[in-house]
A and B are shown apart, each in its own frame.
Chain A
């Protein structure tokens, strides 16, 4: 009986310790990324986080002479996690949008994104309002693609949203959607692995700038990160990382 009480008390203590973490050290920047968004952030065979975003994050921290820890967080919870204090910055190919600016603050952009439709080869698709009428288009929830579909194609297409980009690709493969609207570089990455699919239509430029999100009150950290972004652009580190993943400059 007594032992049972000890076990209960012990577990309660462990849980309490797990719930309350020590305050973050001054020079450790905790960064969150999604880990499900090749080639920007993904997990390699050993389960380690890797990709363009991770390399940029590490380069920025080196530039700022700070210690960085990078954790994975699912997309739906990535902003709430930031607001709850689980980490200090989000480097996960997040677009700078007015909606998000109401909750978080962004650094200067570190690359520019375009949207593009992906569909099965051999099935011609006109990607305007008329051509897409009645079609089922997929996109990841809480992204600019989803937003774009809702604002520009509201009354003509049927929109399906998914928790991860991968789930959206899976349904496209299974024929449950006619096309997916996604960011151009991950789209390219996926098409390379799935030869039966291709881009349709031209790339859509909605002036989508990708930045690092922070809590609004962390202005000091934000300025340091922005300065670091400019610095690695200037000193060639950015170009090196860029070249590792893309044959062209993705900053513009």
Chain B
């Protein structure tokens, strides 16, 4: 294992950085996309509800690999893309771009459901009190529902980000040299299984560190609730996926 780290350590670190980049960007973009979708999902208007539900159904019901292939190889079918002026500048990163798009769309669907769960978990008494005080719906959302929903959904959302980190390995199939992509290239050189083992340890460490950090933040944002052994506050490594 030391030889792998010695010879290929820099490559694997470069891959790790790419993975972190991908996950961070997809998380932010996915969250931004998830919020309107979640709001649409709980809306009273079916014209808002239906498309949102369909989106969530499709992106949660199909494998990420298929989604990535459709985006990457499908875009290869659209020859018009090759004729645009910006193509020469982006084509080198096309796999990366497709990876971001795919991961974002996928995580947005799962995150929207988590946010929806959070919204639905807000004690109705608080919403009623807001209405009684004369708050309009947008204000109620902004001041009462969303802050509370955010805290309720925090553990589940952390879980989702962990799943995103694990799903990010699939971008290695569309030519992105993330940590998994580098590991596969290294393995194809030295045929040493340790290449994968080292990558595995790096992923495990990344996820473990993230989980600790997330739970520390959770303790802080919920500190007004005092010490609690909340059944919902489960460790990522112990509870099931959201």
B123 proximity list for chain A (CB < 8 A): none
A residues adjacent to B (C-beta < 8 A): 76, 79-80, 83, 99, 103, 136, 141-142, 158, 160-163, 170-171, 173-176
Indicate if the CB atoms of B173 and A163 lie closer than 8 Å. yes
Of A99, A142, A173, A175, most buried by chain B (CB within 10 Å of CB) is A175
A-B contact pairs, 30 of them (CB 8 A): A76-B184, A76-B188, A79-B191, A80-B191, A83-B191, A99-B189, A136-B91, A136-B92, A141-B184, A141-B188, A142-B188, A142-B189, A158-B92, A160-B175, A161-B175, A161-B185, A163-B173, A170-B73, A170-B76, A171-B76, A171-B175, A173-B76, A174-B77, A175-B81, A175-B82, A175-B87, A176-B76, A176-B91, A176-B92, A176-B95
Instruction: Please report which residues of chain B, range 86-117, place their CB below 8 angstroms from some CB of chain A when the two chains form the complex.
Output: 87, 91-92, 94-95
Query: Smallest CB–CB gap between B242 and chain A, Å?
Result: 28
B76 proximity list for chain A (CB < 8 A): 170-171, 173-174, 176
A99 proximity list for chain B (CB < 8 A): 189
Contact A141 B185, CB 8 Å, known A173-B76, A175-B91: yes
B87 proximity list for chain A (CB < 8 A): 175
Main SS class of interface, B: helix
B91 proximity list for chain A (CB < 8 A): 136, 175-176
Top 7 A-B residue pairs of the complex, sorted by shortest distance between their CB atoms: A174-B76, A175-B82, A142-B188, A176-B91, A141-B188, A176-B94, A136-B92
Cα–Cα distance between A136 and B187 once the two chains are bound (Å) = 23
Cα–Cα distance between A163 and B187 once the two chains are bound (Å) = 12
Cα–Cα distance between A170 and B81 once the two chains are bound (Å) = 15
Instruction: Please report which residues of chain B, range 56-89, place their CB below 8 angstroms from some CB of chain A when the two chains form the complex.
Output: 73, 75-77, 81-82, 87
Query: Smallest CB–CB gap between B147 and chain A, Å?
Result: 45
B191 proximity list for chain A (CB < 8 A): 79-80, 83, 103
Query: Smallest CB–CB gap between A71 and chain B, Å?
Result: 20
A175 proximity list for chain B (CB < 8 A): 81-82, 87, 91
Query: Smallest CB–CB gap between B230 and chain A, Å?
Result: 34
Cα–Cα distance between A76 and B186 once the two chains are bound (Å) = 11
Cα–Cα distance between A173 and B77 once the two chains are bound (Å) = 9
User: Closest residue of chain B to A142, judged by CB?
Assistant: B188
Cα–Cα distance between A84 and B185 once the two chains are bound (Å) = 20
Indicate if the CB atoms of A174 and B82 lie closer than 8 Å. yes
Query: Smallest CB–CB gap between B149 and chain A, Å?
Result: 41
B184 proximity list for chain A (CB < 8 A): 76, 141
User: Closest residue of chain B to A138, judged by CB?
Assistant: B175
Of B73, B94, B173, B175, most buried by chain A (CB within 10 Å of CB) is B175
User: Closest residue of chain B to A141, judged by CB?
Assistant: B188
Cα–Cα distance between A171 and B76 once the two chains are bound (Å) = 7
Cα–Cα distance between A157 and B184 once the two chains are bound (Å) = 21
Cα–Cα distance between A80 and B92 once the two chains are bound (Å) = 31
User: Closest residue of chain A to B193, judged by CB?
Assistant: A80
User: Closest residue of chain A to B92, judged by CB?
Assistant: A136
User: Closest residue of chain A to B75, judged by CB?
Assistant: A174
Cα–Cα distance between A171 and B98 once the two chains are bound (Å) = 13
Cα–Cα distance between A247 and B94 once the two chains are bound (Å) = 39
Query: Smallest CB–CB gap between A76 and chain B, Å?
Result: 6
User: Closest residue of chain B to A134, judged by CB?
Assistant: B92
B95 proximity list for chain A (CB < 8 A): 176
Contacts A142-B189, A176-B91 known; 16 new A-B pairs at CB < 8 A: A76-B187, A99-B189, A103-B191, A136-B92, A141-B184, A141-B185, A160-B175, A162-B175, A170-B73, A170-B76, A171-B175, A174-B76, A174-B82, A175-B91, A176-B92, A176-B95
Query: Smallest CB–CB gap between A214 and chain B, Å?
Result: 15
A80 proximity list for chain B (CB < 8 A): 191
Query: Smallest CB–CB gap between B80 and chain A, Å?
Result: 11
User: Closest residue of chain B to A174, judged by CB?
Assistant: B76
A141 proximity list for chain B (CB < 8 A): 184-185, 188
User: Closest residue of chain A to B175, judged by CB?
Assistant: A160
Cα–Cα distance between A115 and B215 once the two chains are bound (Å) = 55
Cα–Cα distance between A174 and B187 once the two chains are bound (Å) = 28
Query: Smallest CB–CB gap between A216 and chain B, Å?
Result: 13
A174 proximity list for chain B (CB < 8 A): 75-77, 82
User: Closest residue of chain B to A162, judged by CB?
Assistant: B175
B77 proximity list for chain A (CB < 8 A): 174
